[in-house]
């Protein structure tokens, strides 16, 4: 379902839910974090975030190209890449500021170290330079450089998916298969670890998102008997697979897992995620997600202002984690964790509402002063 502006209500809703999940997942002692994807699924909110980015990118790129031409679409996503780079630098600056504040107050928690504040205080110019070059990506900021690269690659990916979807997906899978080797060429101060999210691996999820937006898979969407039968069979298979993946996830709960399992996007994560994509698509088809979204408009607003809410969410989760640790001396009870969760979620909803109000104010100003409109 799309509104008058061409946005998908379901996509904004899913993105809002994912952004809220990311916040609670990064609060140590979170109670709600025990019920998010990372607890029961092999994948987590990051896959959903990247998939929706691909889906939304395809929608935006094709829409701009249809109205204003391919050159305008390419230029818009070059601008988008710059916006994401600035968002990364802002996120890093805010985290360093928060880390500096608590360090000055002599209030130390394990999470503060994730901001790289200690190394920054020792060598501010060196560390700042590494961050500007993307060689150092502290804490939750690490997904933004990858997202920036995907925006810059959109002028190649989206037209490729439109014209030659099979070839584009094949090339994407080939790049994914050698991603651990390609990742070594990325700028990093951690040569043995590299980027938290290897973009050469994660691009396959982004590409699949664009494919799902551009191509309708009509063989599964018709109302004839064959299409209905295909959907039912695939849905049964997806349900069984999802249950099997839950069992595998519970097994991994007691087994050591290499960080590369997520960093280089293992095939197990891709398979389990695409299983859930199908089930989510069937829920969208039945209208369940749209009805739920209409009852939770503030979640939709958070998703609509995804970049603003992501940057704010990094600060909210970091601050909630620090305050929870200090308030409970590092041993939060369940109700303390729940209070931190609810406070963080309420803050996110407020940020989303403020971003929406600001956008509406700007739109009214443009209507009142036509000369302010841009092309």
Q: What is the pLDDT of residue 191?
A: 76
pLDDT class for 209, splitting at 50, 70, 90?
very high
What's the rounded Cα separation, in Å, for the pair 150 and 305? 19
Q: What is the pLDDT of residue 7?
A: 73
pLDDT class for 4, splitting at 50, 70, 90?
very low
pLDDT class for 169, splitting at 50, 70, 90?
very high
Q: What is the pLDDT of residue 222?
A: 65
Please check whether residue 265 lies inside any domain of the structure: yes
How many domains, the chain? Answer: 1
Please check whether residue 57 lies inside any domain of the structure: yes
pLDDT class for 220, splitting at 50, 70, 90?
low
pLDDT over 80 at 297, yes or no: yes
Q: What backbone torsions phi and psi does residue 2 show, to the nearest 5 degrees?
A: -120, 145
Please check whether residue 38 lies inside any domain of the structure: yes
Q: What is the pLDDT of residue 115?
A: 87
Report yes or no: 198 and 179 within 8 Å, Cβ to Cβ.
yes
CB atoms within 10 A of CB 9: 19
Please check whether residue 346 lies inside any domain of the structure: yes
3 state SS of 268: helix
Q: What is the pLDDT of residue 139?
A: 85
Q: What is the pLDDT of residue 250?
A: 82
Whole-model pTM above 0.85? yes
Which tens digits make up the pLDDT trace of 116-161?
898 999 999 999 999 999 999 998 899 999 999 999 999 999 999 9
Please check whether residue 375 lies inside any domain of the structure: no
Buried b (16+ CB within 10 A) or exposed e, 324-333: bbeeeeeebe
Scanning the structure block, which residue is given the tokens 């494919």? 211
Which tens digits make up the pLDDT trace of 274-292?
999 999 999 998 999 999 9
Q: What is the pLDDT of residue 374?
A: 44
CB atoms within 10 A of CB 66: 10
Please check whether residue 73 lies inside any domain of the structure: yes
Please check whether residue 3 lies inside any domain of the structure: no
Please check whether residue 371 lies inside any domain of the structure: no
Copy the structure tokens of residue 207. Answer: 């590409």
Q: What is the mean pLDDT of residues 304-313?
A: 95
pLDDT over 90 at 24, yes or no: yes
Q: What is the pLDDT of residue 334?
A: 78
pLDDT class for 239, splitting at 50, 70, 90?
very high
Please give the residue range of the domain that contains residue 344.
Answer: 9-366
As a whole number, the mean pLDDT across the chain is 89
Which tens digits make up the pLDDT trace of 352-375?
999 999 998 888 887 776 655 544
């Amino acid at each position: 379902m799309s509104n008058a502006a061409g946005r998908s209500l379901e996509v904004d809703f899913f993105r809002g839910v994912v952004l809220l999940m990311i916040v609670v997942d990064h609060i140590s002692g979170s109670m709600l974090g025990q019920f998010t994807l990372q607890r029961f699924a092999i994948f987590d909110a990051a896959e959903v975030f990247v998939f929706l980015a691909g889906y939304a990118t395809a929608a935006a790129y094709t829409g701009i190209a249809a109205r204003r031409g391919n050159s305008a679409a390419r230029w818009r996503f070059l601008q988008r890449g710059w916006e994401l780079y600035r968002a990364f630098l802002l996120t890093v600056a805010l985290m360093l500021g928060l880390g500096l504040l608590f360090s000055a107050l002599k209030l130390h928690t394990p999470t503060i170290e994730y901001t790289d504040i200690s190394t920054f205080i020792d060598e501010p110019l060196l560390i700042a330079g590494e961050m500007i070059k993307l060689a150092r990506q502290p804490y939750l900021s690490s997904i933004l450089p990858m997202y920036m690269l995907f925006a810059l690659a959109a002028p190649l990916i989206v037209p490729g998916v439109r014209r030659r979807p099979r070839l584009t997906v094949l090339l994407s899978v080939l790049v994914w298969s050698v991603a651990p080797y390609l990742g070594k060429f990325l700028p990093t101060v951690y040569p043995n670890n590299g980027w938290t999210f290897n973009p050469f691996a994660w691009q396959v999820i982004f590409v699949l998102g664009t494919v799902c937006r551009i191509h309708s898979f009509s063989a599964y969407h018709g109302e004839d008997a064959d299409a209905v039968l295909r959907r039912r069979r695939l849905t049964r298979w997806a349900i069984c697979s999802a249950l099997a993946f839950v069992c595998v996830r519970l097994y991994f709960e007691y087994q050591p897992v290499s960080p590369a399992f997520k960093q280089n996007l293992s095939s197990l994560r891709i398979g389990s995620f695409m299983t859930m994509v199908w089930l989510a698509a069937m829920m969208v088809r039945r209208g369940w997600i749209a009805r739920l979204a209409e009852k939770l408009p503030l979640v939709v607003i958070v998703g609509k202002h995804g970049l603003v809410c992501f940057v704010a969410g990094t600060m909210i989760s970091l601050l909630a984690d620090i305050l929870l640790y200090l308030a409970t001396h590092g041993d939060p009870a369940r109700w303390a964790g729940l209070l931190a969760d609810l406070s963080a979620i309420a803050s996110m909803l407020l940020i989303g509402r403020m971003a929406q109000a600001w956008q509406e104010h700007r739109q009214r100003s443009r209507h009142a002063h036509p000369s302010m409109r841009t092309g």
